[in-house]
Chains A and B, each alone.
Chain A
């Protein structure tokens, strides 16, 4: 079983729809992250959380929101999806800042 699980793996939706991407982890890590990858670009940080009561904006948070429902769960929402949010989305976790982040397999999101 994967340590970091993202659902759904693929999603096609229409402009204006509300979308939620979910991430769950079994590693027991406190820190969780959401990234976005666009073709030819690296991963860019959207939001991150260091514990259940902590939410922080990343580099590109506009148009997104997150919820940390439990230590193991971190969801990303697009309140009103737009086509330029079409991308590959990754969730990641780690326990300490000097440790590597562990990534899920990603959600491919297409907004028409």
Chain B
């Protein structure tokens, strides 16, 4: 049973426009959420995180929104750039879980020039 779901396997966006990647979770005990970006032949790299005590966290072009009542988070990339083309993984952890992350299946983002 998937606890972290990324229902869109792929997303295509024009350069300069906004990219919105979505993630849903089922376990209300999750209180720490992260987004990772992965290029081919490389390991995932950390992008941005959010604690459940917040509903928004921003870092440059990247913003993560958390809606606890809907058990939903999203990653916004504005403006999108061709270098943002990668697979994006959403991950979640429970408080006191000592860092064990549960990952979604990923969404492949393609940003077209």
What residues on A are CB-neighbors of B103 within 8 Å? Answer: 42-44
User: Are A43 and B44 in contact (CB-based, < 8 A)?
Assistant: yes
Q: How far is the CA of A98 from the CA of B105 in the complex (A)?
A: 22
Q: Which residues on A sit within 8 Å (CB–CB) of B100? A: 45, 48, 58
B23 shortest CB reach to chain A, Å: 11
Q: Is the CB of B97 within 8 A of A101?
A: no
Contacts of A4 in B (CB 8 A): 43
B70 within 8 A of A: no
Determine if B34 and A106 form an interchain contact, defined as CB atoms under 8 angstroms apart.
no
A94–B98 CA distance with the chains assembled, in angstroms = 10
Known: A42-B89, A97-B98. A105 touches B105 (CB 8 A): no
- The verdict on A42 contacting B45 (CB below 8 Å), with A50-B98, A94-B99 known, is no
Can you give 21 contacting A-B residue pairs, CB < 8 Å?
Answer: A31-B99, A40-B9, A42-B4, A42-B103, A43-B44, A43-B89, A43-B101, A45-B101, A48-B99, A48-B100, A97-B96, A97-B97, A97-B99, A98-B99, A101-B99, A103-B36, A103-B44, A105-B41, A106-B41, A106-B42, A106-B43
